[in-house]
Amino acid sequence: MSTGSPDPAPTAGPALPRGLVANPRLSRWVSVGRDGTVTVRVGKVELGQGILTALAQIAADELDVDLPAIRMQAASTAEGPDEGLTAGSLSVADSGAAVRQVCAEVRALFVAEAARTLAADPADVTVSGGVASTPGGSRRVSYAELADRIDLEREVDGSVRAKAIPESRLVGTSVPRLDLPDKITGRPRFIQDLTLPGQLSGRVVRPPSPAATLTGVDTAVVDALPGVVSVLRDGDFLGVVAQDEETAERAAAVLAGTARWHEEPTLPDEDDLPRFLRDGPAESFVVAEPDPSGVPDRAVRRIRASYSRPFLAHASMAPSCGAARWDGEGVSVWSHSQGIHALQRAIALALGSDIDQVGVRHVESAGSYGHNGADDAAFDAVLLARTVPGRPVHVRWSRRDELTWAPFGSAMVADVEAGVDATGAVLTWSYDVWSQGHTARPGYAGSPGLLGAAHQDRSRPVPPPADPPVLAGGGITRNASPIYTFPHRRIQGHRLLRTPVRSSSLRSLGAFTNVFAVESFMDELALAAGQDPVAYRLAQLADPRAREVLSTAAELGRWDRRGTEESVGYGIGFARYKDRGAYCAVVAEVEAVHEVRVRRLALVVDVGRVVNPDGVRNQIEGGAVQATSWTLKERVRFDRWRITSADWESYPILRFSEVPQVDVHLIARPDEPSVGAGEAAQGPTAAAIANAVADALSVRVRDLPITTDRIVAALNG
């Protein structure tokens, strides 16, 4: 610790945010320029969720500068703090707390220096718009003037308390997104737009199916094409580098035409995924077990059901992209990865090189909803750029590769059984859920986890996906244990060890399926008990914040109109994400005549202290619309050899004319810690729609997506 800094961690102070424990140096996070601009470096990345705007609000408030003075710098392994992944709805909670503390300490240093300069007591110095002044404003000095005198090469020590909530100017207000002006005028901003000096264009030729192996290829014919700079065959990894995109694309097509592959029918039966999932082999793990000394099981009736979802694609609007340039032994990488530090380590692992020889910086792409092809595309660029030292190579995937090679969200199936008492209330709850693991991010299971590396050496395929620890919210069993006051519960997860379809993290991981299953089943239990679904839930719900969210949603969603209109149904779904994140309840209003049409979604959300209300609404609204698409339309298609949903016709998503009206209400909890909003709405939305369909048609669809065919099958079943 630098000398002269205040005493470390006051005894009453809270523990430092974890990002600060790992990255304690103030200069890693913040620098103040002679022009008064404040550069803020964070480890979290912009995915279209508005995180950089929210963090800028926090920084500006804490430093008492105006928002335009803040420059949010893109994450970089060379300069910024390592804050792990931008995932799990943790950015506002974790990074927000770190930025708040860093900026509070930076402000204190400036105030102390201002006090010396102005010959005032630090307690009398106030700051506004980056200018410190004495009472009455008679003497003033700006951050810009003080910048050269402040040494930020010191560690954060927790000695300064961040501001109390009422003092915040920007936090809690709907500051417009800082990145949108560029995006609506078409200025280059995305990684796909990157134009580095001397840049070449690269394309990869992927195998036609997950298990295909290369038996032959003619690289010479491609090498001879005009404009082609290099052709690479490294094991089963095939690619070209050319002068421009068009040439690279044509050359890749020629290369693909000369490649011969041996294919194997390794994929499961897409029409019987529950059987594939249950057949294993799997590793089973218990999340909750009944307490043998608890209330005896006096169930008078047992009810059971099974629910499933298929594999889902990220289906980002932009194909994955990456760029790389080798200089001597080192490689610089540009990527839209959600975890640039993990990617840096994984690339070093795959290359067998030193981590210091790999630098990764983040560049924005289209919306990212988990572990998509970003990291793989970055490594593609690394491999192709190695063939042209000193020249940057920019690689963009095709739509086909994006929809067939980026990891999917795993198919899942859940069996649930409840024992109920004479009133219909739950006494025992038993839940088993089968799935592939929900994380295969770079570096997992001791593997680089990068597609290119697995194709270079087919004897080292990507390992079966792992699962996040249950204590961190889990993956397969995320939200598998209901929030309700059931006396006995037994919850078990089963992670598949043979995974022919590549899968990894997709927004909300297992919570989407688990909440869909739990909340669908709650409606089935309410029906069996002859009770109203909202009243049935409230009778078994103790958490006051949960009760308020649920009750308010029933009002906002016009629950009292349920059962008043022919072919129109109302359904509710509710959960607290990861059991400690955002509370979200949804009422869906659907019309089911020739097909199911979701007319309206009413969502009520409690995310604790809200940093940017419109940002939260946008995330909730977007999450609900995406979940509507998953629920009604989406399913990765395949035969026994190949993934066949390779374009937007075969992998349809919700269109403008199908998007419901979405109303979002936020419950103000300024005294509660902020939690993320990006993954709260998905599970409750699916359940609300399924329950509304059941209400409208008196038929239950338990396998997603809820298509007309599935409804007809259920009606006939």
Partner 1 sequence: MKQTFELTVNGERRQVDAEDQSTLLHVLREGLGLKGSRFGCGVGQCGACVVLLDGRPAPSCDVPMWSAVGRDVTTVEGLADGDVLHPVQQAVLDEQAAQCGYCVSGILVSAAALLAENPHPDESTVAAALDRHLCRCGAQRRIVRAVVRAGARGAGRR
- Chain residues binding partner 1 by CB under 8 A are 47-50, 174, 176-177, 179-181, 183-188, 190, 192-193, 195, 244-246, 315-319, 364-369, 396, 398-399, 614, 618-619, 621-626, 629, 647-649, 653-657, 659, 661-662
Element (H, E) at 390: none
Rounded Cα gap, residues 108 and 64, in angstroms: 11
The Cα 212–Cα 133 span in angstroms is: 70
CB nearer to partner 1: give 173 or 430: 173
CB of residue 449 to partner 1, shortest distance in Å:
24
Output 201 or 435, the one with its CB closest to partner 1: 201
Of 367 and 500, which has the nearer Cβ to partner 1?
367
Of residues 13 and 613, the one with the C-beta less far from partner 1: 613
The residue (of 26 and 321) whose beta carbon lies closer to partner 1 is: 321
How far apart CA 181 and CA 177 sit, in angstroms, is 8
Torsion angle of alpha carbons 593, 680, 655, 51, nearest 10°?
Answer: 160
Tell me the closest approach of the beta carbon of residue 508 to partner 1, in angstroms: 14
Q: Which phi and psi angles does 716 have, rounded to 5°?
A: -80, -20
Shortest Å, Cβ 365 to partner 1: 7
For 294, residues 6+ apart whose C-beta sits below 8 A from its C-beta are 487, 488
Q: H/E element holding 114?
A: helix 91-118
Smallest gap from residue 193 Cβ to partner 1 (A)? 4
Distances (CA, A) of 258 to 9, 216, 383: 65, 8, 21
Give Cα 336 distance to the centre of its chain: 13
CB of 246 to partner 1, least distance (A): 5
Q: Look up residue 540 and give its two tokens.
A: 């078994």
Quote the least distance from Cβ 366 to partner 1, whole Å. 3
Say how far residue 524 (Cα) sits from the centre of its chain.
31
Q: Are 600 and 589 in contact (CB under 8 A)?
A: yes
* Distance in Å, CB of 87 to partner 1, minimum: 16
Nearer to partner 1, 190 or 641 (CB): 190
- For residue 73, give the H/E element and its range: strand 70-73
Cβ neighbours of residue 271 closer than 8 Å, sequence gap 6 or more: none
Burial class (CB in 10 A: 0-12, 13-18, 19+), 197: exposed
The candidate with the shortest Cα–Cα distance to 38, out of 57, 21, 17, 19, is 57
At residue 493, what are phi and psi to the nearest 5 degrees?
-110, 155
| Chain center to CA of 645 | 23
Least distance to partner 1 from the beta carbon of 618, Å? 6
Which parts of 421-471 are beta strand (E)?
Answer: 426-435
Helix (H) or strand (E) segment spanning residue 267 = none
Task: Please name which of 683, 680, 705, 676 lies closest in space to residue 693, comparing C-alpha atoms.
Answer: 705
Give yes or no for a contact between 717 and 305, defined as CB atoms under 8 angstroms apart. no
**Cβ proximity to partner 1, 315 vs 586, nearer residue:** 315
Closest approach of partner 1 to the CB of residue 507, in Å? 11
Q: Identify which of residues 185 and 564 has a Cβ nearer to partner 1 in the complex.
A: 185
Please state the closest distance from residue 652 (CB atom) to partner 1, in A: 9
Q: Which is nearer to partner 1, 188 or 670 (CB)?
A: 188
**Furthest-apart CA atoms within the chain: distance in Å:** 85
Indicate the residue among 193 and 548 with the shorter CB distance to partner 1.
Answer: 193
3-state SS, residue 126: strand
Please give the C-alpha separations between residue 150 and each of 60, 105, 114, 157, 691, in angstroms, as whole numbers. 18, 12, 10, 16, 60
For partner 1, the closer of residues 313 and 711 by Cβ is 313
- CB 318, min distance to partner 1, A: 5
Return the number of the residue (116 or 187) whose C-beta is nearest partner 1. 187
Using the minimum distance from each CB to partner 1, give the nearer residue, 396 or 495. 396
Q: Which residue reads 């078990």 in tokens?
A: 492
Compute the distance between CA of residue 518 and CA of residue 510 in angstroms, rounded to an integer. 12
* CB 667, min distance to partner 1, A: 21
Q: Is there a contact between 431 and 486 (Cβ–Cβ < 8 Å)?
A: no
CB of residue 463 to partner 1, shortest distance in Å: 29
Amino acid 78 reads A
The enclosing H or E element of 467 equals: none
Nearer Cβ to partner 1, position 366 or 667?
366
CB of 464 to partner 1, least distance (A): 27
